[in-house]
Amino acid sequence: MMHKCFKSLLVAAFSFFCIGIFTPTFAQGNDEKKEEKKGFNAKEVIFGHVLNNHDFHILDIVGDNGEKSPISIPLPVILYSEQRGLEVFMSSHFHHGEESYRNYLMLTNEKIEELKLDPNKYNAQDIVALDDKGEIDSSVRIYDISLTRNVVQMLIALFIFTWIMLAIAKKYKNGHGVVSAPKGSQSLLEPVITFVRDEVAKPNLGSSYERYLPFLLTIFFFILINNIFGLIPGSANVTGNIAFTAVLGIISFVVILFSSNKHYWGHIFNPPGVPFGVKLILVPVELISVFIKPFALIIRLFANMVAGHIIIICLISLIFIFSNLSKYAGWGTAPFSIAFTVFIYFIEVLVAFIQAFIFAMLTAVFIGQAIEGAHHEGDHHDDSVMV
Amino acid sequence: MDLMTILLSATPMANAGGAIGAGLAAIGAGIGIGQIGKGAVEAIARQPEVANDIRANMILTAALVEGAALFGIIVGFLAMVL
């Protein structure tokens, strides 16, 4: 019995050795890429949606010869460089990366391959400066401050959000909902604001919650409305952009820092009731955690949003990937893929609300930790969240 | 391309490492959030009138655990890209 097992083991090991070492030899054929007609490139679609673009891409019309002509809304391109000054023009002049304009060129994936540029240094939608001969001039450092897709969508969301809030605030100013029962949009918004005040602000901030309530409400609604806008098919991915979430995280960090008091820093550098040996380890950890907590806020919002978008696009791309194999496989995948996508869409709407709530809640928790005064004996704990 | 060449080249190894890392992070998230859910449901079963408070804590803690898992997934993605 043991002998048989050992023999089988030897056979298995020898087989692996053979597979690994011995290779079939083929005559070297033609290595060039002969295919002009490219199949569905899932990676390009995913990164085209998740990253920032200089236009709102709507759809591609595939012509008779397989050529894709894109239809998109162009956006202004604003470039600044020391050598050339400020330049403003519409991104339609680039013709989707095919032509250069005023000695600037917008790179696309095809152009990066064509010009044999380093893919680690140059990405799609980057704008590079050309010199008079048409070669890339790397000495010109361009600051790209264009109104890109993310910026325009964020501004639209901001405008709609401010409009809604001001309209509802005017209703309150006129007395509706103050001396009478709230009606219409007031009854939509009032429970949400009361929820943020009673579950997020009051338990964590104690008596000085009113100072921070506007900030927390702004964070909550701003992230919420940008999340919801990002879920519209064809829209830009604003909250899934690390720069956007980084700025929100930095603002929260600054608010936390400015509201910290002596007790907070005393607890970090001199934790009470801790033996000296442990203090040596604890103080660097506490110091790092001051920076890690906003960083975690940033990464959490970014990763949740971008993961959701990528999942939705991947599920839809499955249809096209399968259709590359055979037309019927594509049609067969479609019902399952769409069903899954609808299911994931529901989850993404839930995640949109949850992530906005979590960002606001954790900011409130960290501010609460910073403004905490000296502990008294027998403090009455009123938290709904045990921190 | 035989197995040895594939095993010795860098990019597929980085991609495989990234994907396996992200998968392990997802397992961690699943286990963690599952235990949060278990604790929350048991607590609600014991005292149904504080269900709202327990639900708020559950969602908060789940988001924290998921944040940690997403750190892992981001690192897995970075392994593929960098």
- Please tell me whether residues A159 and A62 are part of one structural domain: no
Shortest Cα distance from A38 to chain B (angstroms)?
23
B59, B60, B73 ranked by CB distance to A303: nearest: B73
Domain boundaries, chain B: 24-81
- Please tell me whether residues A156 and A62 are part of one structural domain: no
- Alpha carbon A288 to its chain centroid, in Å, reads 24
For position A71, what pLDDT does the model report? Answer: 82
A179-to-A164, A171, A175 alpha-carbon distances in Å: 21, 12, 6
Nearest CA in chain A to B1: A23
For position A377, what pLDDT does the model report? Answer: 46
Percentage of chain A beyond pLDDT 90 is: 28
- B-chain CB neighbours of A19 within 8 Å are 3
For position A245, what pLDDT does the model report? Answer: 94
Please report which confidence band the pLDDT of residue A25 belongs to, taking 50, 70 and 90 as the band edges: low
Spatial neighbors of A360 by CB under 8 A, at least 6 apart, are: A196, A200, A216, A217, A219, A220, A223
For position A338, what pLDDT does the model report? Answer: 92
> In chain A, which residues touch B (CB < 8 A)?
19-24, 199, 296, 299-300, 303-304, 307, 354-355, 357-358, 361-362, 384-386
Look at B70 and A23 and tell me if their CB atoms are within 8 Å.
no
Instruction: Give helix A149-173 / helix A209-230 axis angle, nearest 10°.
Output: 130
Look at A20 and B67 and tell me if their CB atoms are within 8 Å.
no
Is A137's pLDDT higher than 80? Answer: no
- Please tell me whether residues A94 and A165 are part of one structural domain: no
Inform me whether the C-beta atom of residue B38 falls under 8 Å from chain A C-beta atoms.
Answer: no
Look at A20 and B73 and tell me if their CB atoms are within 8 Å.
no
Q: Give this prediction's pTM.
A: 0.81
Nearest CA in chain A to B51: A384
User: Which tokens is B19 given?
Assistant: 């994907």
B3, B53, B63 ranked by CB distance to A354: nearest: B63
- Please tell me whether residues A124 and A180 are part of one structural domain: no
Range scoring the smallest mean pLDDT among A93-107, A221-235, A321-335, B40-54: A93-107
* Alpha carbons A258 and A292: distance in angstroms, whole number: 17
Residue A146 near residue A79, CB atoms below 8 Å: yes
* Alpha carbons B24 and B27: distance in angstroms, whole number: 5
* Alpha carbons A117 and A136: distance in angstroms, whole number: 10
Please report which confidence band the pLDDT of residue A36 belongs to, taking 50, 70 and 90 as the band edges: very low
Range scoring the smallest mean pLDDT among A29-43, A88-102, A326-340: A29-43
* Alpha carbons A230 and A235: distance in angstroms, whole number: 6
Q: Which residue has the higher pLDDT, A224 or A40?
A: A224
Domain span at residue A125 reads: 55-144
For position A163, what pLDDT does the model report? Answer: 94
Nearest CA in chain B to A200: B56
Mean pLDDT value across residues A231-248: 91
SS3 assignment, position A85: strand
End-to-end Cα spacing for chain A: 60
Is A107's pLDDT higher than 90? Answer: no
Mean pLDDT value across residues B19-39: 94
Mean pLDDT value across residues A288-302: 92
Please report which confidence band the pLDDT of residue A367 belongs to, taking 50, 70 and 90 as the band edges: very high
**Closest to B56 (Cα-Cα) out of A385, A360, A349:** A385
Look at A358 and B53 and tell me if their CB atoms are within 8 Å.
no
User: How many domains, chain A?
Assistant: 2
Top residue of B3, B60, B71, B77 to mutate, by most chain A CBs within 10 Å, is B60
- B-chain CB neighbours of A23 within 8 Å are 2, 4
Most confident residue range from A217-221, A258-262, B76-80: A217-221
- Please tell me whether residues A222 and A92 are part of one structural domain: no
- Please tell me whether residues A246 and A169 are part of one structural domain: yes
Amino acid at position A232, single letter: I
Is A255's pLDDT higher than 90? Answer: yes
Residue A342 near residue A315, CB atoms below 8 Å: no
Percentage of chain B beyond pLDDT 90 is: 43
Look at A307 and B70 and tell me if their CB atoms are within 8 Å.
yes
In a domain, A338, yes or no: yes
Nearest CA in chain A to B72: A303
* Alpha carbons A87 and A77: distance in angstroms, whole number: 8
Range scoring the smallest mean pLDDT among A66-70, A213-217, A288-292, A372-376: A372-376
Spatial neighbors of A240 by CB under 8 A, at least 6 apart, are: A50, A230, A302, A305, A306, A308, A309
In a domain, A94, yes or no: yes
The residue among A106, A124, A144 that closes a domain is: A144
The CATH fold of domain B24-81: F1FO ATP Synthase (1.20.20)
Percentage of chain A beyond pLDDT 70 is: 91
Is A116's pLDDT higher than 80? Answer: no
Instruction: Give helix B51-81 / helix B10-46 axis angle, nearest 10°.
Output: 180
Please report which confidence band the pLDDT of residue A34 belongs to, taking 50, 70 and 90 as the band edges: very low
Q: Which residue has the higher pLDDT, A138 or A36?
A: A138
Please report which confidence band the pLDDT of residue A31 belongs to, taking 50, 70 and 90 as the band edges: very low
* Alpha carbons A340 and A99: distance in angstroms, whole number: 40
Average pLDDT of chain A is 84
DSSP string, A278-329: HHHHHHHHHHHHHHHHHHHHHHHHHHHHHHHHHHHHHHHHHHHHHHHH-HHH
- Please tell me whether residues A216 and A309 are part of one structural domain: yes
For position A385, what pLDDT does the model report? Answer: 67
* Alpha carbons A351 and A228: distance in angstroms, whole number: 10
- Please tell me whether residues A250 and A128 are part of one structural domain: no
For position A382, what pLDDT does the model report? Answer: 58
Complex prediction ipTM: 0.77
Mean pLDDT value across residues A227-253: 92
Mean pLDDT value across residues A313-334: 87
A20, A296, A358 ranked by CB distance to B4: nearest: A20
Most confident residue range from A14-28, A183-197, A352-366: A352-366
- Please tell me whether residues A163 and A217 are part of one structural domain: yes
Q: Which residue has the higher pLDDT, A182 or A26?
A: A182
**Closest to B65 (Cα-Cα) out of B39, B30, B20, B38:** B30
- Please tell me whether residues A188 and A82 are part of one structural domain: no
